[in-house]
Chain A
């Protein structure tokens, strides 16, 4: 089911600027259907900008983004969600004043998807009538992921899903990411927690200062000292 159909997502020479700040300077990568691809790098390397450009939240200054062969470079976010490309944003961005169920229904074209999400995250089903702001950090992250899954996406972009979470919860989150991937959904994962991300991924791209400095099969990168260097700038 993978490989033969070509990449589900192709990013070519992507450039993103905020005013005079060039956050992404010509980045190219792709993800094959069913693959888990990770972009890792230190803060400010441009990871979130890439995710936001792909999901239609910011408009790129240059380059091309193809989703299932269609050019989506200038497609607004709300259309992409309907066509099967969703984002789980950095910092979760759940809507605190809406209930858990309302958060899920925002993302759902059909109600059927909500049942599936409750099946996967029983804790959300228990708290369905509570305002989402009352959930714990880990539960909020599950809600953010669940909210993306109700749309039954073919490509899901995860931006720093482990940020600010205790190690035990990070394990849970990575468990869920693994399940999503094995259900056939393509995952693009952006992480500062590079080792965990590379461990989970098929393919990895190392970013620094808005450029891809290194890429390869995730297992190879995991043992590569240059990854550590990209973060700490020291030999370890």
Chain B
């Protein structure tokens, strides 16, 4: 086995993880699947490139901006796709559809602004330095991807576990009515949750664009399915599950390419997905919910 491959799997996997963490956060707290998440990922990739290519920022300075842009998009998603459905009996289904619709509008607007072609960062954007790790070549960007993912995942973990906002989020996740009784502003928690989720998805998008140095309109669709697979495998609503699931998928894909063939790479996610759904529907880290009549 090749250390280089292992590391490559870890880098890609951490992007999957970051994307999936945002995805699963909304599902966990709000019990909604936000299918506009991949569109935020895509928008962020294009915005990141524009900030560097036109705005003249360094790639490192662009990331915080992308984070904020993602957060703002999250607020838009909450206001347009989810808030109006409050109290509707079919809110689950309708929320899927309204977020798909909003995603379609985001992507159409990207197409209008940037056209259908692949965009790349300017040639001189990336630092030249490479590092040697156990005999493998690692670029500065790759190191940054791993570090940023770890920092954001740990940060979110602390936020959810230790802060007032985190407690409010967990309270809302468990029982929105009980949360309201003790004074939690559930509407604001919803908006904040979507903003954080989208900010993470946006950073994942920008990092992905850096990793492969390209952004395309279809990039969200490809990661959407993998992200869904990751959160089902990890256990819906489980943050550690999304992290582990993402890394696992990254590694599994790299090994598939190595030992089976590159065209089979994309099948790995769905193989894992099916296995888990049939064998352990609550996922690796999920708990089975018991519902009463």
A residues whose Cβ falls under 8 Å from a Cβ of B: 55, 57, 76-78, 80-82, 86-87, 89, 93-98, 102-103, 105-107, 147-148, 151
Q: Is B184 an interface residue (CB 8 A)?
A: yes
A82 to chain B, nearest CB (A): 6
Which B residues from 167 to 188 make CB contacts under 8 A with A? 167-168, 170-171, 174-175, 177-186
- Asked if A89 meets B183 with Cβ closer than 8 Å, knowing A95-B170, A98-B167, the reply is no
Known: A76-B180, A106-B183. 17 other contacts (CB 8 A): A55-B181, A76-B185, A77-B181, A77-B183, A78-B184, A78-B186, A81-B182, A81-B183, A82-B183, A86-B181, A93-B181, A95-B175, A95-B179, A97-B174, A98-B174, A107-B182, A148-B182
In the bound assembly, the distance between CA atoms of A81 and B168 in angstroms comes to 14
In the bound assembly, the distance between CA atoms of A94 and B179 in angstroms comes to 9
- Asked if A106 meets B177 with Cβ closer than 8 Å, knowing A76-B185, A78-B185, A81-B183, the reply is no
A93 to chain B, nearest CB (A): 4
| Contacting pair A151 B183 (CB below 8 A) | yes
- Asked if A106 meets B180 with Cβ closer than 8 Å, knowing A93-B175, A97-B174, the reply is no
Residue of B nearest to A148 (CB): B182
Q: Is B92 an interface residue (CB 8 A)?
A: no
A57 proximity list for chain B (CB < 8 A): 177, 180-181
B residues whose Cβ falls under 8 Å from a Cβ of A: 164, 167-168, 170-171, 174-175, 177-186
8 pairs from A and B in contact (CB 8 Å cutoff): A76-B185, A78-B183, A78-B185, A86-B182, A97-B170, A98-B170, A106-B183, A148-B182
| Contacting pair A93 B183 (CB below 8 A) | no
In the bound assembly, the distance between CA atoms of A147 and B171 in angstroms comes to 13
| Contacting pair B167 A78 (CB below 8 A) | no
A81 proximity list for chain B (CB < 8 A): 182-183
In the bound assembly, the distance between CA atoms of A96 and B178 in angstroms comes to 11
Residue of A nearest to B188 (CB): A78
- Asked if A87 meets B178 with Cβ closer than 8 Å, knowing A97-B170, A98-B171, A106-B171, the reply is no
A17 to chain B, nearest CB (A): 14
A78, A96, A147: the one within 8 Å of B174 (CB): A96
Residue of B nearest to A57 (CB): B180
B164, B175, B182, B186: the one within 8 Å of A147 (CB): B182
A55 proximity list for chain B (CB < 8 A): 181
- Asked if A107 meets B167 with Cβ closer than 8 Å, knowing A93-B175, A97-B174, the reply is no
